[in-house]
Amino acid sequence: MQQVKNLLYICFVLSQISFSQVREVKELDVNWKFQKGNLENAYQVNFDDSKWETVTVPHDWAIKGPFDKKVDIQTTAIVQNGEKVATEKTGRTGALPHVGSAWYRNKFVLSEYEKNKKIILLFEGAMSEPKVYLNGKKVGEWAYGYSYFYFDISELIKDGENTLAVKLNNEEFASRWYPGAGLYRKVSVIVKNKESINQWGTFITTPFISKDLAKINIKTKASGNNTNLLTTIYDAAGNEVNSNNSEIKFGNEFDQNIKVENPKLWSPESPYLYTAVSKLFVGNDLKDEITTRFGIREIKYEAKKGFSLNGEVRKFKGVCLHHDLGPLGTAINKAALRRQLTILKDMGCDAIRSSHNMPSLEQLELCDEMGFLFLAESFDEWAKPKVKNGYNRFFDEYAEKDIVNLVQATRNHPSIIMWSAGNEVPDQWGDEGVKRAKWIQDIFHREDPTRPVTVGMDQVKAVMESGFGALLDIPGLNYRVHLYEEAFKKFPQGFILGSETASTVSSRGIYKFPVEKASMKQYDDFQSSSYDLEYCSWSNLPDDDFVLQDDKPWVIGEFVWTGFDYLGEPTPYDEMWPSRSSYFGINDLGGLPKDRFYLYRSRWNTKEETLHILPHWNWKGREGEITPVFVYTSYDSAELFVNGKSMGIQKKNSSTPQNRYRLMWMDVKYEPGTVKVVALDKEGKPIATKEIHTAGKPYKIVLNPDRKIIKADGKDLSYVEVSVVDKNGISCPTATNQLKFKVSGKGEYKAACNGDATSLELFHLPTMKLFSGKLVVLVQSLKEAGDIKLTITGKGLKTAHVVINSIE
């Protein structure tokens, strides 16, 4: 393992698995019967479920609400936030009805079923504690709601109709955020021959890379005697690159080495993917075939230099993401994930941390395709609890099994460049925690010797003294910017990762006066100011992390808390009602960018220029009062004008972290009209301009879909941004009109979200108020192609329509 700590290489990737006619993969997505409640005998074949709700999977049973303070009310002190006195907390897990038991039932027939086949039942996530039954008999159970797991059901399957029943149970006080509820990720049945490649049995690495040649090592575990394995590599255009046929197994594993000449390397800027097709034969008979996408890339972590990808030193420009998708809840949806990543890509983000749980396979596939480095996390708890009924209950029995499944299911993804064994675990204290950390890290190393392991550590003083931080491959610090220098001196690795940074809070389009830095600031409307100067008691402002990233070569990057708002954890209002979702996001719960988006974009997006003004300029009643203007820009200086009068030139400087990264005019007095900023080049000449205007009364609705063409698969989504403008077409930033939505044609209304953390309006109902002048509406396709028409109305507003085309 010393080799892993000192110099870590990685190059490879798996993503998708597709199958030939020798195996059948049946996704169980439709015709599920669902009923909440702790029901007896619901696992039996002849149980009457005719009156149960019919749902599709992935499914989150709790997202339709209603929001209720009683769901997650608790009296506790949040230790990791530094609290010492217990107080009443509300909305901590989203105030949605996720607690309790529920059953899912599905009847299916396998078209390729034959006796003597091997049949696997695969769950990619079930929240939580699933107990699985097939044809009236118990198949098995699992504990962790974020884990992928599977069962061999070969002996229980039968010809004709099979009855699958799954019982799930969510305990109260089992999570620190909204965990979701139900079969929220895919369920599949895999039918293959006895002689076949094992589930997650392929491991692709690249032990050697040069400009002219890459060596691809493919280890493949397979069952059956007298087998041989033919593996062929194809480039992204489908052209054959090279192949290898092997008849020798070491135990049950083939070990093949295949060269790729003039390899094209994977990176966020050029996410090139190869494909390996593995065919298992007995004699001349094809018994199994799988397709594995992978990338060729090399990573290193070195003292003083830090992190490098394909020989180039770089720093992670990353964000943390919880697993919920806002108004969709936790039910996985690839279109929603793609939209998130598209927004982050525009910001210049190049890395994702799955917080604080195992990522969906769809998210990893998209990160491979779109080019994101990935920090794959496992647990929020080890043996010591943060919450009464958290993962601590299962740690001793399940931790190793969960890590094995995480690594084996995902280790071929080129995007993954690091594993995280935990987040702010209370086990950071004491000798027992050090031993536990080593035990867990050793499991990761055993399953994947090519990637390093980190833990998000918040008890920095403790881990410096105990050795906990020193034994990890990558020392990850959550906040504690004042301790970076000391940690760097004491830790032996020679670098520090900002595994969780900032925790700045804001509400989109909401601005508070006076404008000043503040910790845990609260207001009567339960919102936080979008001047981006408010943070939490344990955290800091973005600029403090920017200084470390820019000035300390041994700081290898950051993962900001968080890329998007999420359900639950409404700090600094976790003692207030109604507050049911976070304020941490760079983007709001509906995916609309806050001002902070442009602060990060001005640093991270090095290909496109950024010029953004805040606040809005509708301040009736503040005439003549100080209303500071901030500009987030990639330019170093700019001149500000209010109604044509110059407010002076500001230039970025190092007097404070804020002055270094923002342009701020602190003495501007409000008067209605036009605010104009003129960015200046290095010679002081105008190079770009931006204006905002005072708006009149809301006049008409404006619709802007992110995609006008979607797939007719019953799953694809178009996110339609909804805003209102005045008679002159100027956006109305303070509008709160109640709107109604109607979808006709070959689609359906799915949900809406306005990004207001205090709103108790339900996402799935076709009406919602604007928040700060905007909201988003989600339109979902049917399984039939054709036009989808969205109509939005509001009292006193000119109606708006948009047509989205759904295609085969």
Kindly list the catalytic residues: 424, 500
613/593 Cα distance (integer angstroms): 13
Tell me how far apart the 2 most distant CA atoms of the chain are, in Å.
88
Supply the DSSP string of 691-750, one letter for each residue.
EEE---S--EEEEEES-SEEESSS--EEEEEEEEE-TTS-B-TT---EEEEEEEESEEEE
- Token pair in block for residue 115: 């006796």
- Other residues' Cβ atoms within 10 Å of the Cβ of residue 461: 12
How far apart, in Å, do the first and last CA atoms of the chain sit? 50
**Count of residues in the chain:** 808
- Contact of 179 with 145, CB cutoff 8 Å: yes
577/594 Cα distance (integer angstroms): 23
How do strand 316-321 and strand 645-651 relate by DSSP bridges? unpaired
719/750 Cα distance (integer angstroms): 10
Which stretches does DSSP call E strand in 158-305? 161-170, 187-192, 196-209, 213-223, 227-234, 240-246, 249-250, 253-261, 274-282, 285-294, 299-302
Contacts of 767 (CB under 8 A, 6+ apart): 738, 739, 740, 741, 752, 761
- Token pair in block for residue 227: 């087998």
- Contact of 182 with 102, CB cutoff 8 Å: yes
Residue 763: phi, psi to the nearest 5? -65, -35
Q: Which residue has the tokens 């009236």?
A: 136
Supply the DSSP string of 379-429, one letter for each residue.
-S-SSS-SSTTSGGGTHHHHHHHHHHHHHHHHTT-TTEEEEEEEES-GGGS
798/97 Cα distance (integer angstroms): 37
Map residue 789 onto helix, strand or coil: strand
Contacts of 455 (CB under 8 A, 6+ apart): 420, 421, 422, 423, 425, 428, 437, 468, 472, 476, 499
Q: Using alpha carbons, list the distances in angstroms from residue 726 to 698, 723, 729, 730, 794.
A: 5, 10, 5, 5, 14
